[in-house]
Amino acid sequence: MHRKLPLPPTGLMSSIVACLLSFVMIASAQARSLPDFTELVEELKPAVVNISTSQDAGSRRSSDRGSDPRQQMPELFRRFFGDDMFPHRQGPDQRGKRSLGSGFIVSKDGYILTNNHVVEDADHILVRLIDRRELEAELIGSDARSDLALLKIDAKDLPVVKLGNSDNLKVGEWVMAIGSPFGFDYSVTAGIVSAIDRSLPSDNYVPFIQTDVAINPGNSGGPLFNMDGEVVGINSQIYTRSGGFMGLSFAIPMSVAMDVVDQLKEKGHVSRGWLGVVIQEVNKELAESFGLKKAAGALVAEVLEDSPAQAAGLREGDIITKFGDKEIELSADLPHVVGTTKAGSKVPIQIVRNGTMKTLTVKVGDLPDDPEQLTNKKPGNERVNRLGMTVAELTEQIQSKSGINEGVIILQVERGDAAQAGLRRGDIITMLDGKQVVSTDVFEDLVDGLEPGKAVPVRIVRNGRPIFLPLKVTK
């Protein structure tokens, strides 16, 4: 005889059923909220292309001269060359080097956008369309600083992408990439925007879009789409310790890309705004030494000779907090906003100088192509001072070698405030507490006048590079 278990009360049964239905409805709603990329892929992939390049046998370009271009990039940041881009040398009869990447069509008459590093040094560029046609492309122009290249193929009525406004991107929104990783055409990956306006060590003029979209060799130059099917970026780099995808991908914003495209179409090269300063980050200690309430802005470590900054009256030790209508929170913000400013424009700059807010007007210059133009070209009374170091006058030899005419050189650093601040033997001190150091006598007078317990900025030149350090006198 089986024992019958009592049924739960009717009211309790109804509650259980209601809870189960709620869970089902919530799960269903969550499933519906996840994006479905199927229609977008079908609509967008015809405008994505595969790009391969080659060099003629015996061609001597920069990438052939005994070094691997990948080794010139920061160790943890890699652009996406195909593995066959760098074959082992096989003698004079070897076939030309080949690169594999992606691109996308931006006009019906055949203009294609990709990365500069995909087509750099190529003698032949081959574009393969979704209908399997292979067409040789002409390089209209390229820009190494933004890693962009504009190609042109001879074709009409081509499918094109829709161009989006990358300035409207928000962190957390869904994005999708289509490309040819490792040669697998029209591979689709998706993820979210992880950050915007990201600066990378090797690229001062691009405010990158960071995503967690899976990107691998061959995706380089391919489009990054938003959920409206608009291209908002061009996949360019990854952060990696292994050489493969690790969850951090970087894309060039379309706001930057289209400005480059317009200039390449019009004149074949790209012009950028130039201020002519060497800058560094303002950390908490430096902010305290300069009397700032918070660590923000771009600290001017050096003003280049004959530069727009020098003409505008900028000085070493100024902290740029605003350029035009753009707030400068991080020092990396400044190259982005200056680079996109048209040369010849007159722009107000807000600075902090000796604790006082000032506004200057600068006439933005044109960034020089020659890197040499982006830098300045051009022992005596010795005693251990209260900072625990010995300094000397600059000899003619030191002045000639360093290009610095005024300052003092550190001969020795003992235990004390100087060592605590990070000063080293061989550093050249050019400014202390906002005042120019022109001789050892002036320097020692400034040191003797320092107030104990107060942090002050000291400007030094180390290995040819000017930097500020916070210095606090303890006694």
Specify the pLDDT at position 386: 85
- CATH number for the domain including 311? 2.30.42.10
Specify the pLDDT at position 109: 94
Specify the pLDDT at position 360: 96
Shared-domain flag, residues 109 and 244: yes
Would residue 88 count as lying in a domain? yes
Shared-domain flag, residues 233 and 294: no
**SS3 for the chain, per residue?**
CCCCCCCCCHHHHHHHHHHHHHHHHHHHHHHHHCCCCHHHHHHHHHHEEEEEEECCCCCCCHHHCCCCHHHHCCCCEEECCCHHHCCCCCCCCCCCCEEEEEEEECCCCCEEEECHHHHCCCCEEEEECCCCCEEECEEEEEECCCCEEEEECCCCCCCCCEECCHHHCCCCCEEEEEECHHHCCCEEEEEEEEEEEEEECCEEEEEEEEECCCCCCCCCCCEEEECCCEEEEEEEEEECCCCCCCCCEEEEEHHHHHHHHHHHHHHCCCCCEECCEEEEECCHHHHHHCCCCCCCCEEEEEECCCCHHHHHCCCCCCEEEEECCEECCCCCHHHHHHHCCCCCCEEEEEEEECCEEEEEEEECEECCCCHHHHCCCCCCCCCECCCCEEEEECCHHHHHHHCCCCCEEEEEECCCHHHHHCCCCCCEEEEECCEECCCHHHHHHHHHCCCCCCEEEEEEEECCEEEEEEEECCC
Shared-domain flag, residues 143 and 203: yes
Would residue 130 count as lying in a domain? yes
Which are the catalytic amino acids?
Answer: 117, 147, 220
Specify the pLDDT at position 332: 85
Shared-domain flag, residues 196 and 229: yes
Shared-domain flag, residues 101 and 224: yes
Number of structural domains in the chain: 3
Would residue 229 count as lying in a domain? yes
In order along its 475 residues, the chain shows pLDDT tens digits of 555 556 556 565 666 656 666 665 655 555 557 889 999 999 999 999 999 998 876 554 544 433 333 333 444 454 544 433 333 333 333 445 566 899 999 999 999 999 999 998 889 999 999 999 999 999 999 998 899 999 999 999 999 999 999 999 999 999 999 999 988 999 999 999 999 988 876 667 889 999 999 999 899 999 999 999 999 999 998 887 766 788 899 999 999 999 898 888 888 788 889 999 988 888 888 888 888 888 999 999 888 888 999 999 999 889 999 999 999 998 888 988 998 898 899 999 999 998 889 999 999 999 887 554 555 544 444 567 888 888 888 877 678 778 888 899 998 888 788 988 889 888 999 999 999 999 888 999 899 889 888 889 999 998 888 999 999 888 7
Shared-domain flag, residues 174 and 235: yes
Specify the pLDDT at position 92: 38
Shared-domain flag, residues 170 and 253: yes
Would residue 161 count as lying in a domain? yes
Shared-domain flag, residues 189 and 134: yes
Shared-domain flag, residues 224 and 289: no
- CATH number for the domain including 198? 2.40.10.120
Tens-place pLDDT, residues 379-409: 444 567 888 888 888 877 678 778 888 899 9
Would residue 24 count as lying in a domain? no
Residue that finishes a domain, picked among 374, 400, 429 = 374
pTM of the entire predicted model: 0.68
Shared-domain flag, residues 107 and 214: yes
Shared-domain flag, residues 419 and 350: no
Would residue 25 count as lying in a domain? no
Residue that finishes a domain, picked among 374, 400, 418 = 374
For 337, the domain range is: 273-374
Shared-domain flag, residues 247 and 106: yes
